[in-house]
Amino acid sequence: MLPLGFSSGLPLALTGTTLQAWLSTAGINIKTIGIFSLVGIPYAIKFIWSPLMDRFRMPWLDRRRGWIITAQALLVLGLAFMATLSPAQNQLEIGTMAMLVAFLSASQDIAIDAYRTELLRAEERGLGVAMTVTGYRISMLVSGALALILADHAGWMKTYLMMAACMAACMAATVISPRPEDQDILPRDIKEAVTGPLGEFFSRQNAMAFILLIVFYKLGDAIAGSLTTAFLIRGPGFSPSEVGAVNKAFGLISTMAGAFLGGWIMKRAGLFRSLLYFGCLQAVSNLGFTALALAGKSHILLIASVAFENMASGMGTAAFVALIMTLCNKEYTATQYALLSAISSVGRVAAGPPSGLMAAMTGWPWFFFLAACASMPGLLLLLWMKDGILDMENQ
* 336-395 confidence digits (pLDDT tens): 888 888 888 777 667 666 777 888 888 889 989 998 998 899 999 999 988 888 887 766
Does the pLDDT value for residue 45 go beyond 80? Answer: yes
The share of the chain scoring above pLDDT 70, in percent, equals 96
Mean pLDDT for the stretch of residues 24-47: 79
Note whether 2-186 and 193-394 share their fold: yes
Mean pLDDT for the stretch of residues 235-261: 79
Mean pLDDT for the stretch of residues 9-13: 89
At 349 the pLDDT is 65
Does the pLDDT value for residue 62 go beyond 90? Answer: no
Rounded Cα distance between 167 and 169, Å, is: 5
At 348 the pLDDT is 67
Backbone angles phi, psi at 187, to 5 degrees: -55, 150
Task: Give rounded-to-5 percent helix, strand, coil for the chain.
Answer: 85, 0, 15
Backbone angles phi, psi at 179, to 5 degrees: -85, 125
Mean pLDDT for the stretch of residues 250-269: 85
pLDDT digits (tens, 9 = 90+) for 132-150: 988 988 898 888 878 888 8
Rounded Cα distance between 27 and 165, Å, is: 27
At 184 the pLDDT is 60
Helical segments of 28-155, H only: 30-36, 41-44, 50-55, 63-83, 91-119, 125-141, 147-154
Rounded Cα distance between 86 and 94, Å, is: 8
Annotate 294-312 with DSSP letters as a single string. Answer: HH-S-HHHHHHHHHHHHHH
Does the pLDDT value for residue 171 go beyond 90? Answer: yes
Mean pLDDT for the stretch of residues 301-309: 89
C-alpha torsion angle, residues 231, 232, 233, 236 (rounded to 10)? 100
Rounded Cα distance between 201 and 203, Å, is: 5
Does the pLDDT value for residue 304 go beyond 80? Answer: yes
Mean pLDDT for the stretch of residues 321-329: 87
Q: Which fold has domain 193-394?
A: Growth Hormone; Chain: A; (1.20.1250)
- Helices H / strands E in the chain, number of each: 22, 0
Q: Cα 50–40–138 angle (5° rounding)? A: 90
Does the pLDDT value for residue 248 go beyond 70? Answer: no
| Contacts (Cβ under 8 Å, ≥6 apart) of 196 | 187, 331, 332
pLDDT digits (tens, 9 = 90+) for 71-116: 999 999 999 999 998 888 888 888 899 999 999 999 999 999 989 9
Question: pTM for this structure?
Answer: 0.79
pLDDT digits (tens, 9 = 90+) for 205-221: 888 989 999 888 888 88
The share of the chain scoring above pLDDT 90, in percent, equals 26
At 207 the pLDDT is 87
Rounded Cα distance between 224 and 233, Å, is: 14
Q: Which fold has domain 2-186?
A: Growth Hormone; Chain: A; (1.20.1250)
Does the pLDDT value for residue 119 go beyond 70? Answer: yes
At 183 the pLDDT is 58
Burial (0-12, 13-18, 19+ Cβ within 10 Å), 114: buried
Domain ranges of the chain: 2-186, 193-394
Neighbours of 189 (CB within 10 A): 10
Residue 154 binned pLDDT confidence (cut-offs 50, 70, 90): confident
More confident residue, 331 or 287: 287
